[in-house]
Protein backbone atom coordinates (compact mmCIF):
# COMPACT_ATOMS: atom_id res chain seq x y z
CA UNK A 1 0.00 0.00 0.00
CA UNK A 2 2.83 2.38 0.89
CA UNK A 3 4.62 1.76 -2.44
CA UNK A 4 1.38 2.36 -4.33
CA UNK A 5 0.85 5.70 -2.54
CA UNK A 6 4.44 6.82 -3.29
CA UNK A 7 4.03 5.79 -6.93
CA UNK A 8 1.00 8.09 -7.20
CA UNK A 9 2.68 11.06 -5.53
CA UNK A 10 5.94 10.92 -7.49
CA UNK A 11 4.50 12.12 -10.85
CA UNK A 12 2.67 14.95 -9.09
CA UNK A 13 5.84 16.07 -7.34
CA UNK A 14 7.82 15.97 -10.59
CA UNK A 15 5.12 17.97 -12.39
CA UNK A 16 5.21 20.62 -9.68
CA UNK A 17 8.98 20.89 -9.96
CA UNK A 18 8.97 21.13 -13.74
CA UNK A 19 6.33 23.85 -13.89
CA UNK A 20 8.19 26.04 -11.39
CA UNK A 21 11.26 26.05 -13.64
CA UNK A 22 9.41 27.67 -16.54
CA UNK A 23 7.02 29.88 -14.57
CA UNK A 24 7.71 33.52 -15.18
CA UNK A 25 6.53 36.01 -17.76
CA UNK A 26 5.29 35.06 -21.22
CA UNK A 27 5.10 37.68 -23.99
CA UNK A 28 3.20 37.10 -27.26
CA UNK A 29 4.16 39.31 -30.22
CA UNK A 30 1.01 38.77 -32.27
CA UNK A 31 -1.46 39.85 -29.56
CA UNK A 32 0.94 42.00 -27.50
CA UNK A 33 -0.31 39.94 -24.53
CA UNK A 34 1.86 39.62 -21.43
CA UNK A 35 1.09 36.77 -19.00
CA UNK A 36 2.57 36.86 -15.51
CA UNK A 37 2.96 33.32 -14.14
CA UNK A 38 5.25 34.43 -11.31
CA UNK A 39 3.87 37.17 -9.06
CA UNK A 40 7.26 38.08 -7.58
CA UNK A 41 8.83 38.51 -11.03
CA UNK A 42 5.71 40.33 -12.22
CA UNK A 43 6.16 42.87 -9.42
CA UNK A 44 9.86 43.31 -10.21
CA UNK A 45 9.80 43.49 -14.02
CA UNK A 46 7.60 45.23 -16.56
CA UNK A 47 7.40 44.72 -20.31
CA UNK A 48 7.62 48.08 -22.05
CA UNK A 49 7.68 47.33 -25.78
CA UNK A 50 7.25 44.31 -28.08
CA UNK A 51 8.45 44.76 -31.67
CA UNK A 52 9.43 42.80 -34.75
CA UNK A 53 11.85 43.90 -37.46
CA UNK A 54 12.92 42.47 -40.80
CA UNK A 55 16.46 41.10 -40.70
CA UNK A 56 17.38 40.10 -44.29
CA UNK A 57 14.18 38.08 -44.78
CA UNK A 58 14.09 36.74 -41.22
CA UNK A 59 12.11 38.21 -38.34
CA UNK A 60 13.90 39.75 -35.37
CA UNK A 61 11.87 39.84 -32.14
CA UNK A 62 12.70 42.53 -29.61
CA UNK A 63 11.24 42.88 -26.12
CA UNK A 64 12.12 45.84 -23.90
CA UNK A 65 11.91 45.15 -20.15
CA UNK A 66 12.28 47.50 -17.18
CA UNK A 67 13.27 46.52 -13.66
CA UNK A 68 10.97 47.83 -10.93
CA UNK A 69 13.39 46.45 -8.33
CA UNK A 70 16.40 48.31 -6.89
CA UNK A 71 18.71 45.29 -6.96
CA UNK A 72 20.13 43.28 -9.83
CA UNK A 73 17.99 40.46 -11.24
CA UNK A 74 19.52 37.38 -12.87
CA UNK A 75 17.02 36.13 -15.44
CA UNK A 76 16.71 33.82 -18.43
CA UNK A 77 14.73 34.13 -21.65
CA UNK A 78 13.77 31.83 -24.51
CA UNK A 79 12.08 32.66 -27.84
CA UNK A 80 9.55 30.47 -29.65
CA UNK A 81 8.67 31.22 -33.29
CA UNK A 82 5.30 30.83 -35.08
CA UNK A 83 4.08 31.10 -38.68
CA UNK A 84 1.22 33.29 -39.99
CA UNK A 85 -1.38 30.70 -38.89
CA UNK A 86 0.00 30.70 -35.34
CA UNK A 87 1.60 27.25 -35.63
CA UNK A 88 5.00 26.75 -34.04
CA UNK A 89 7.77 26.59 -36.62
CA UNK A 90 9.52 23.22 -36.31
CA UNK A 91 12.85 23.47 -34.52
CA UNK A 92 12.36 27.15 -33.75
CA UNK A 93 12.69 27.20 -29.98
CA UNK A 94 15.94 28.73 -28.81
CA UNK A 95 18.00 27.68 -25.78
CA UNK A 96 17.56 29.51 -22.48
CA UNK A 97 19.82 32.57 -22.41
CA UNK A 98 20.93 34.29 -19.22
CA UNK A 99 20.89 38.06 -18.71
CA UNK A 100 21.09 40.53 -15.84
CA UNK A 101 18.82 43.53 -15.41
CA UNK A 102 20.39 46.13 -13.15
CA UNK A 103 18.23 47.88 -10.55
CA UNK A 104 15.60 50.17 -12.12
CA UNK A 105 17.25 49.79 -15.55
CA UNK A 106 15.67 49.13 -18.96
CA UNK A 107 17.14 46.70 -21.47
CA UNK A 108 16.11 44.78 -24.59
CA UNK A 109 16.26 41.06 -25.22
CA UNK A 110 16.12 39.85 -28.81
CA UNK A 111 16.40 36.92 -31.14
CA UNK A 112 16.27 36.29 -34.89
CA UNK A 113 14.09 33.51 -36.32
CA UNK A 114 16.00 30.65 -37.92
CA UNK A 115 13.42 30.10 -40.69
CA UNK A 116 11.72 32.57 -43.06
CA UNK A 117 8.21 31.18 -42.38
CA UNK A 118 8.40 32.52 -38.80
CA UNK A 119 6.42 35.77 -38.59
CA UNK A 120 5.62 36.07 -34.88
CA UNK A 121 7.10 35.01 -31.59
CA UNK A 122 6.51 34.29 -27.94
CA UNK A 123 9.23 34.82 -25.36
CA UNK A 124 9.36 33.27 -21.91
CA UNK A 125 11.25 35.07 -19.11
CA UNK A 126 12.07 33.42 -15.80
CA UNK A 127 14.34 33.89 -12.81
CA UNK A 128 17.66 32.07 -12.85
CA UNK A 129 17.55 29.31 -10.25
Neighbours of 119 (CB within 10 A): 17
- What does the pLDDT look like over 38-57, one tens digit per residue? 999 999 999 999 999 999 99
Q: For residues 108 and 101, give the distance between their C-alpha atoms in angstroms, rounded to a whole number.
A: 10
The topology under which CATH files domain 24-127 is Immunoglobulin-like (2.60.40)
Confidence band for 22, pLDDT divided at 50, 70 and 90:
low
> pTM for the complete prediction?
0.79
What value does the mean pLDDT take over residues 25-29? Answer: 91
Q: 4 φ, ψ to 5°?
A: -65, -45
Amino acid sequence: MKKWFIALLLPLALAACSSSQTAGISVDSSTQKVVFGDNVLGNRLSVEQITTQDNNGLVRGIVSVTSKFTGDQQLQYRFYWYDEQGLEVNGSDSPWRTFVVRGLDTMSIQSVAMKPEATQFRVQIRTLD
